[in-house]
Structure formats: structure tokens, C-alpha cells
Amino acid sequence: MFADPLSITFDDIYSTSEQRYLTIGQSINQKLLIISHTDDDHNHVVRIISARELTSHERQQYEKKR
């Protein structure tokens, strides 16, 4: 997922307690996912908070931007 060259990452504007990101991209199983995560730059660790498949509306938006 994070190795998908066409993935899109942006700030999660709804998170107030810590810096979170949302990444949309294709998994190794060829599924389009949205993942909420944090990045620990000091330890080079990504902590995944949640992950799910895109809705049909989100998929259409993603495919337009790709």
C-alpha cells in the first residue's frame, strides 16, 4: 500500500490530538484502501490507526485524480 507509486497522502484535518495522515492507494491484493496513520520520523515507524476499502464514491474521486 505505501509502496503504491500512485497513492495519495494528505493531512487528516479532523484529528486534533496528533498529526495524522490519510493515504489512499492500492494494496498488494489489488484493493483500493484508505488508511489513517501517524508517522514517527525519529524511529521511522508508521502506526496504522484504521484501514478500510473505499466507497464507490471515494473510488470515483480517486480515479479522477489519478
One-letter identity of residue 46:
V
Judge whether residue 48 has pLDDT over 90. Answer: yes
Determine the pLDDT at residue 1: 72
Residues 8-35 have pLDDT tens digits of 999 999 888 889 999 999 999 999 999 9
Judge whether residue 41 has pLDDT over 80. Answer: no
User: Is this structure's pTM higher than 0.85?
Assistant: no
Q: Which residues, other chains included, contact 18 with Cβ-Cβ below 8 Å and sequence gap of 6+? A: 38
